[in-house]
């Protein structure tokens, strides 16, 4: 995931189409975009710390009285975290408004080695689509041994 040069995070999804993450179930994943938001917030958390801002740890929601809700996960925590509306005895804390406009503090954040994979590439024509199907069949055969 890349957000206009602000930062990046990797999200790995299971290869199995039988995984529950590919099936909408309002009891389990009504807020499925939570994983994308969570990883993006880790990027902003890192950037904030590198710029010298003191902010809460993203995983410290329980320390501030927030709960992981059954259906909505940590939606309230993320909303308050992003808007600097986490109430404490010394005032509100959370991500500083400026962090949304700043690039990562270190150039090394732009130097990531990624192997090009065509797994997520959308076919551009019928030949690409056929090749993708054949590649999937080959992978299934290799997995079965």
User: Are 135 and 117 within 8 A, CB to CB?
Assistant: no
Residue 3 confidence (pLDDT) above 60: no
Query: What whole-number distance in Å separates Cα of residue 20 and Cα of residue 14?
Result: 10
Residue 12 has pLDDT above 70, yes or no: no
Q: What is the mean pLDDT of residues 86-98?
A: 96
Over residues 4-11, the mean pLDDT reads 55
- Four-point Cα dihedral 40, 47, 88, 80, nearest 10: -30
Q: Report CA 69 to chain centroid distance, whole Å.
A: 19
The token pair at 143 is: 């997995």
Do 138 and 131 contact (CB within 8 A), yes or no?
A: no
pLDDT, tens digit (0-9, with 9 covering 90-100), for 21-59: 556 566 655 556 777 788 889 889 988 999 999 999 999
Q: What CA–CA distance (Å, rounded) separates 64 from 77?
A: 9
pLDDT of residue 70: 72
Nearest to 80 by CA among 50, 55, 47: 55
> Is residue 113 very low, low, confident or very high in pLDDT (cuts 50, 70, 90)?
very low
């Amino acid at each position: 995931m890349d957000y206009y040069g602000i930062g990046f995070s990797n999200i790995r999804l299971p290869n199995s189409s039988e995984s529950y993450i590919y099936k909408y179930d309002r009891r389990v994943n009504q807020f499925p975009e939570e994983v994308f938001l969570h990883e993006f917030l880790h990027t902003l958390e890192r950037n904030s710390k590198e710029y010298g801002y003191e902010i809460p740890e993203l995983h410290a929601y329980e320390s501030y009285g927030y709960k992981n809700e059954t259906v909505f996960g940590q939606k309230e925590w993320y909303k308050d975290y992003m808007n600097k509306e986490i109430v404490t005895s010394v005032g509100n804390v959370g991500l500083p408004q400026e962090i949304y406009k700043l690039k990562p503090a270190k150039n090394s954040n732009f130097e990531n080695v990624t192997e090009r994979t065509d797994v997520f590439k959308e076919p551009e024509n019928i030949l690409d689509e056929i090749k993708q199907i054949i590649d999937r069949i080959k992978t299934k055969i290799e997995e079965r041994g």
